């Protein structure tokens, strides 16, 4: 009960923040009612997907300060679990999604135990390695379609199928992921005020101090890594039903892992709104860049150049991202 | 039975013996001072007791239990808290939140944790700065935050590592009063490392002196001040001269 109360309690934010949040929320709620292109709709759904990836990453990466560059592997595990279970045994999304989470979290404990013996850059590099190994395995594993991946054919079902999450119109997907998005915000709002949230922020500050305050640093990191993993895996399962065509390259690549980390890093690592702001800036940028520039052959991959530039600017100018900048300006004004 | 019993504690860093067969015991409600020149092994001793350094040899018994091989977080959970000489919080947590991290060790409930933290801030004159980031505070307040955070864990015993270093005389008075109140009113056994002699001599029930990793003296403050070995190794003739005739 106390947990629920903490999840819906946003009273430590200034009123102006909450008004903006409610206005943005209302705009997102009614967006599909207004005329829009299919492209805009797809971009919005991607915005929700990446907000959620970012929120998950933000638990371990932002609050805990552990730069994890291997989150894509859990997108893959979630997506593949749902796709395989639906295609082979006709098991619907709402059953396969928790199973995907179970696989992902189990895997995260297995690799998290040794991973968190490492610190800083070594940890980051090791997370990349584990993700790439898994991707290589999936590329040669016949059971999951190897490099060609899997395809969910909507013809077999009768959309709108809420149980299997198979829809013909994107607006259904929009509202499903919108609900996930709201639940995600409530969860993170609880998390940041929970014991584990406080412990992680102490760990980020100074691990020796954290230890001497009774915190089992290694275990706290592993637990949080599992939470981040669960977030990403749920959205991965959704991704499978929404895209309907999954392959290792776009569910487990290094690009995706970096993009996930970038949402929170750009928007503000270790803050509630950070990943949402990050996704709000980056996803439209990414979509429209591809649309405008992708057509001319010479400019393929320009989005990667832009990500690189963003990472450099953030780490040089404002490590706490856009939200850090907002808070800095606020503090200066209040003086 | 003593609350803390250190037996033949030895700690090597490679070829360097930082603590050499140190033994001492500390009763409940006692206030023990640890002094010695720089590099004598005082902080190493604290780190060994608190479980941050693996011990090379010897035993540490706390509250009847052998804690020699326990990791730092297990030592803390058994009621042995410590402060750090340099306590720089990078700025993610404000003062109240810092103390709450400590208080979260005993309960999951946020409301209870918050109340406990607020009580401690009150006691340590930190209430006005509860919402401030630790890095923005003056040194004296930062030292008190470090103490408050440790007290958040509701310890039986508190290890204080140079909480008076770098403070002016007024601030030393303040921290002295706080240490007394922690010791007497909260009933917490205290062991402190300190270079500020007025403070150690004033407050300690007993003092041990370290030099080159060995314990060279153990006794009442008055005895320590008169001990020729201690004067030679640490206090120097000047201290004895200046303070002769005082308190007699």
Buried b (16+ CB within 10 A) or exposed e, B166-176: ebeeebbebbb
pLDDT of residue B91: 62
Query: Which residues in chain A touch residue B152, judged by CB atoms under 8 angstroms apart?
Result: 213
Determine the residue among B88, B91, B93, B104 to mutate to test chain A binding: the one whose Cβ has the most chain A Cβ atoms within 10 Å.
Answer: B104
Residues A198, B92: C-beta atoms closer than 8 Å: no
A301: nearest Cα among A290, A309, A285: A290
CA angle A195, A198, A201 (to 5 degrees): 150
As a whole number, mean pLDDT of residues B219-224 equals 89
B155 part of contact set with chain A, CB < 8 Å: no
| Dist CA B145 CA B147 (whole Å) | 5
Tens digit of each residue's pLDDT (9 = 90 or more) over A18-73: 999 999 999 999 999 999 899 999 999 999 999 999 999 999 999 999 999 999 99
As a whole number, mean pLDDT of residues B55-64 equals 93
| Dist CA A212 CA B160 (whole Å) | 13
B52 part of contact set with chain A, CB < 8 Å: yes
Overall residue count recorded for chain A in this entry: 335
pLDDT of residue A300: 65
Q: Looking at the predicted structure, is the pLDDT value of residue A9 above 60?
A: yes
DSSP A193: T
pLDDT of residue A5: 85
In B, minimum Cα distance to A271 occurs at: B92
As a whole number, mean pLDDT of residues A286-303 equals 70
As a whole number, mean pLDDT of residues B48-61 equals 93
B248 part of contact set with chain A, CB < 8 Å: no
The least confident of A28-42, A192-206, A308-322, B87-101 is B87-101
Query: Which residues in chain A touch residue B93, judged by CB atoms under 8 angstroms apart?
Result: 198, 201-202, 205
Which DSSP string corresponds to chain B?
A: --SEEEEEEEEEETTEEEEEEEEEEE-TT-EEEEE--TTSSHHHHHHHHTTSS--SEEEEEETTEE-TT--HHHHHHTTEEE--SS----SSSBHHHHHHHHHTTT-S-HHHHHHHHHHHHHHTT-GGGTTSBGGGS-HHHHHHHHHHHHHHT--SEEEEESTTTT--HHHHHHHHHHHHHHHHTS--EEEEE-S-HHHHHHH-SEEEEEETTEEEEEE-HHHHHH-HHHIIIIIHHHHHHHHTTTT-
SS3 of A10, please? coil
- Bigger pLDDT: A146 or A220? A220
| Dist CA A245 CA A7 (whole Å) | 35
Determine the residue among B71, B73, B116 to mutate to test chain A binding: the one whose Cβ has the most chain A Cβ atoms within 10 Å.
Answer: B73
Residues A202, B93: C-beta atoms closer than 8 Å: yes
pLDDT of residue B89: 57
Tens digit of each residue's pLDDT (9 = 90 or more) over B153-184: 999 999 999 888 888 989 999 999 999 999 99
Residues A213, B149: C-beta atoms closer than 8 Å: yes
As a whole number, mean pLDDT of residues A194-208 equals 91
Q: Residues near B146 by Cβ (< 8 Å), separated by ≥ 6?
A: B83, B84, B87, B163
As a whole number, mean pLDDT of residues A140-161 equals 84
Q: Looking at the predicted structure, is the pLDDT value of residue A299 above 70?
A: no
Of chain A, the percentage scoring pLDDT greater than 90 comes to 58
| Dist CA A37 CA B61 (whole Å) | 72
- Indicate the pLDDT class of residue B244, thresholds 50, 70 and 90: low
As a whole number, mean pLDDT of residues B46-68 equals 93
Backbone dihedral angles phi then psi of residue B164, each to the nearest 5 degrees: -105, -5
pTM of the complete model: 0.89
B150 part of contact set with chain A, CB < 8 Å: yes
As a whole number, mean pLDDT of residues A96-104 equals 96
- Indicate the pLDDT class of residue B59, thresholds 50, 70 and 90: very high
Are the C-beta atoms of residues A6 and A193 closer than 8 Å to each other? Answer: yes
B47: nearest Cα among B55, B59, B56: B55
B112 part of contact set with chain A, CB < 8 Å: no
pLDDT of residue B202: 87
Average pLDDT, chain B: 88
Query: Which residues in chain A touch residue B102, judged by CB atoms under 8 angstroms apart?
Result: 213-214
- Indicate the pLDDT class of residue A105, thresholds 50, 70 and 90: very high
Average pLDDT, chain A: 90
C-alpha distances in Å from residue A234, one per residue of A80, A231, B146: 11, 5, 40
Interface of A with B (CB under 8 A): 2, 6, 193-195, 198-199, 201-202, 204-206, 208-217, 270
As a whole number, mean pLDDT of residues B188-205 equals 89
A2, A194, A212 member nearest B76 (Cβ): A212
Query: In what helix (H) or strand (E) does residue A151 lie, and over which residues does it extend?
Result: strand A150-151
- Bigger pLDDT: B205 or A159? B205
pLDDT of residue A47: 96
| Dist CA B31 CA B43 (whole Å) | 17
As a whole number, mean pLDDT of residues B221-227 equals 86
Q: Looking at the predicted structure, is the pLDDT value of residue A288 above 90?
A: no
Q: Looking at the predicted structure, is the pLDDT value of residue B248 above 60?
A: no
Task: Given the cut 0.95, state whether the ipTM is greater than it.
Answer: no
Q: Where are the alpha helices (DSSP H) in chain A?
A: 2-7, 15-30, 38-57, 72-89, 93-115, 120-140, 170-191, 195-205, 207-212, 217-243, 248-252, 254-267, 274-293, 302-317, 321-334
As a whole number, mean pLDDT of residues A251-279 equals 91
Tens digit of each residue's pLDDT (9 = 90 or more) over A202-212: 999 888 889 99
pLDDT of residue A180: 97
A6, A213, A216 member nearest B101 (Cβ): A213
Of chain B, the percentage scoring pLDDT greater than 70 comes to 93
pLDDT of residue B134: 86
Are the C-beta atoms of residues B156 and B102 closer than 8 Å to each other? Answer: no
- Indicate the pLDDT class of residue B246, thresholds 50, 70 and 90: very low
Of chain A, the percentage scoring pLDDT greater than 70 comes to 97
Q: Which domains does chain B have, with CATH numbers?
A: 1-79+188-248 (3.40.50.300)
Tens digit of each residue's pLDDT (9 = 90 or more) over A213-224: 999 999 999 999
pLDDT of residue B49: 93
Q: Looking at the predicted structure, is the pLDDT value of residue A290 above 80?
A: no
Q: Looking at the predicted structure, is the pLDDT value of residue B22 above 50?
A: yes
Are the C-beta atoms of residues B167 and B138 closer than 8 Å to each other? Answer: no
Name the β-bridge partners of A161. A166
B76, B92, B108 member nearest A213 (Cβ): B76
DSSP A31: G
Q: Looking at the predicted structure, is the pLDDT value of residue A142 above 80?
A: yes
SS3 of A265, please? helix
């Amino acid at each position: 009960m106390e947990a629920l109360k903490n999840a819906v309690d946003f009273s430590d934010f200034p009123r102006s923040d909450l008004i903006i949040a409610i206005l943005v929320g209302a705009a997102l709620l009614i967006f599909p009612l207004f005329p829009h292109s299919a492209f805009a709709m797809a971009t919005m759904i991607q915005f929700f997907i990446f907000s959620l990836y970012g929120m998950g990453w933000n638990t371990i990466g932002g609050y805990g300060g552990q730069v994890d560059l291997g989150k894509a592997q859990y997108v893959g595990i979630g997506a593949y679990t749902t796709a395989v279970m639906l295609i082979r045994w006709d098991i619907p999304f709402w059953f396969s999604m928790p199973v995907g989470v179970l696989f992902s979290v189990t895997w995260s404990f297995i690799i998290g135990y040794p991973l968190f013996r490492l610190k800083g850059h070594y940890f980051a590099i090791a997370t990349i390695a584990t993700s790439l190994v898994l991707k290589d395995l999936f590329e040669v594993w016949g059971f999951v379609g190897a490099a060609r991946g899997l395809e969910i054919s909507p013809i077999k079902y009768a959309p709108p199928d809420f149980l299997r999450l198979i829809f013909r119109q994107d607006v259904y997907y929009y509202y499903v992921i919108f609900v996930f998005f709201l639940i995600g915000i409530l969860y993170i709002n609880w998390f940041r005020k929970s014991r584990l949230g406080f412990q992680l922020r102490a760990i980020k500050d100074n691990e020796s101090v954290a230890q001497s305050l009774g915190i089992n640093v290694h275990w706290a990191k592993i637990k949080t890594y599992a939470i981040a993993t669960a977030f990403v895996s749920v959205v991965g399962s959704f991704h499978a039903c929404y895209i309907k065509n999954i392959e290792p390259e776009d569910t487990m690549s290094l690009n995706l892992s970096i993009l996930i980390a970038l949402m929170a890093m750009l928007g503000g690592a270790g803050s509630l709104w950070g990943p949402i702001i990050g996704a709000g800036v980056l996803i439209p940028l990414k979509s429209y860049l591809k649309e405008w520039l992708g057509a001319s052959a010479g400019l393929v991959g320009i989005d990667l150049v832009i990500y690189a530039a963003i990472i450099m600017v953030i780490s040089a100018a404002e490590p706490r991202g856009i939200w850090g900048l907002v808070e800095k300006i606020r503090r200066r004004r209040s003086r | 039975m003593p609350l803390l019993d250190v037996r033949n504690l030895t700690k090597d860093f490679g070829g360097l013996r930082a603590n050499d067969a140190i033994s001492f015991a500390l009763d409940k409600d006692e206030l023990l001072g640890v002094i010695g020149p720089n590099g004598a092994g005082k902080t190493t001793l604290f780190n060994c007791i608190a479980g941050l350094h693996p011990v090379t040899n010897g035993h540490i018994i706390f509250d009847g239990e052998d804690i020699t091989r326990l990791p730092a977080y297990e030592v803390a959970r058994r009621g042995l808290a410590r402060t750090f000489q340099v306590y720089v919080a990078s700025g993610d947590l404000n003062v109240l939140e810092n103390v709450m991290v400590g208080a979260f060790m005993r309960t999951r409930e946020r409301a209870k944790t918050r109340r406990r933290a607020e009580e401690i801030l009150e006691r340590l004159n930190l209430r006005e700065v509860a919402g401030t980031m630790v890095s923005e505070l003056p040194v004296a307040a930062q030292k008190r935050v470090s103490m408050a955070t440790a007290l958040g864990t509701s310890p039986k015993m508190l290890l204080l590592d140079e909480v008076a270093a770098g403070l002016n005389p007024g601030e030393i008075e303040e921290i002295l009063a706080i240490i007394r109140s922690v010791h007497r009113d909260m009933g917490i056994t205290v062991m402190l490392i300190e270079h500020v002699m007025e403070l150690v001599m004033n407050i300690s029930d007993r003092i041990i002196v370290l030099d080159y990793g060995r314990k060279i003296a153990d006794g009442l403050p008055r005895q320590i001040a008169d001990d020729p070995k201690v004067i030679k190794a640490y206090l120097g003739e000047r201290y004895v001269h200046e303070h002769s005739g005082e308190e007699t």
